[in-house]
Amino acid sequence: MAEIVAGFGMPHNPGSPALVAREGPQCETARFYAEMAKNIEAVAPDVLVIFTDDHFNTFFLDNFPTFAIGIADATAGPNDQTPMPHYKVAVPGALAAHIRTTAIKHDFDISLVQDFDVDHAVMVPLHFITPHMKIPVLPIFVNALAPPLPTARRCFALGEAVRAAVENWPQPLRVAAIGSGSFSLEIGGPKIPQGRRVAGTPDPQWSQHVQDLLNEVRIDDLITEATTARMLQAGNIGGELLNWIALLGVIGARKPVTMLPQNDHGQAFAVWRWN
């Protein structure tokens, strides 16, 4: 039987690879990603399931699913202009198909995407946590950008359906889940703080509040508070919290063993591990 062995939450800032290349391995971002990589190596997963959102690179508004799962033999990226290496990584297609079937049985009309590439929301984390791309990656896309967004409770339920699918997979398999995204971020919009040109963090207090709720395992409070209006108050990218909430549905009500805040960037790095 397959099992969920750990959960990880982390941002995917497209500037991070260039920042780390410029500032070196001792900069904060490099150290925080290194902590994620160390924990992933320790739990030795066979597969990484990553809840991610697409920034109009894999999908566009003429075909923008609320939920979608990638089913293929491999994917590649980033398929945007992120300054970083281009990678190819295996996708566990049979497991992805099994998860989609299970999700449909749980009343999720989850879309199928094949022959696809992914953007920085997947590839920036992988660049740091599994740079040799030896661990297959299964992307599950959540619409965190284009209202109407799915509800937080629906995203949590999606995570629960993914957990049920993994636990019903007949072969031994160690699966780690990742939630990719920020809590407060505005790109090219009116909430960019004064003095910032392209992007900024309108609501660092919300970022800290989300982390407090996670640390206190107040999951239902987080789900209740994470309305579309509240998330978008924290920036037009604030809906990426939904990726973390889907992750919580997979791992259950657990206290993180590590929480590394970057509230000036509206984000954090987190680890959930257990025996």
Distant-in-sequence, close-in-space partners of 117: CB < 8 Å, separation ≥ 6: 57, 58, 75, 76, 77, 78, 79
pLDDT at position 99, please? Answer: 98
- 58, two tokens: 């894999």
**Predicted TM-score of the model (pTM):** 0.97
Looking up residue 111, the CATH number of its domain turns out to be 3.40.830.10
Predicted pLDDT at 215: 98
Rounded Cα gap, residues 192 and 187, in angstroms:
7
The H-or-E segment that residue 175 falls in is strand 173-180
pLDDT at 194: 80
* pLDDT recorded at residue 228: 98
Q: What is the pLDDT of residue 79?
A: 97
Q: What is the count of structural domains for the chain?
A: 1
Domain region containing 253: 2-273
Running DSSP on this structure, what letter comes out for residue 198?
S
Q: Distance between CA atoms of 146 and 143, rounded to whole angstroms?
A: 7
Q: How far apart are CA 34 and CA 231, in angstroms?
A: 28
Cα 128 from Cα 17, distance rounded (Å): 8
pLDDT digits (tens), the chain, 275 positions: 899 999 999 999 999 999 999 999 999 999 999 999 999 999 999 999 999 999 999 999 999 999 999 999 999 999 999 999 999 999 999 999 999 999 999 999 999 999 999 999 999 999 999 999 999 999 999 999 999 999 999 999 999 999 999 999 999 999 999 999 999 999 999 999 887 778 999 999 999 999 999 999 999 999 999 999 999 999 999 999 999 999 999 999 999 999 999 999 999 999 999 97
* Residue 129 token pair: 């946590």
pLDDT for the residue 1:
83
Summary count for the chain: helices (H), strands (E): 9, 12
Spatial neighbors of 55 by CB under 8 A, at least 6 apart, are 80, 119, 120, 121, 145
The whole-angstrom distance between residue 224's C-alpha and the CA centroid of its chain comes to 20
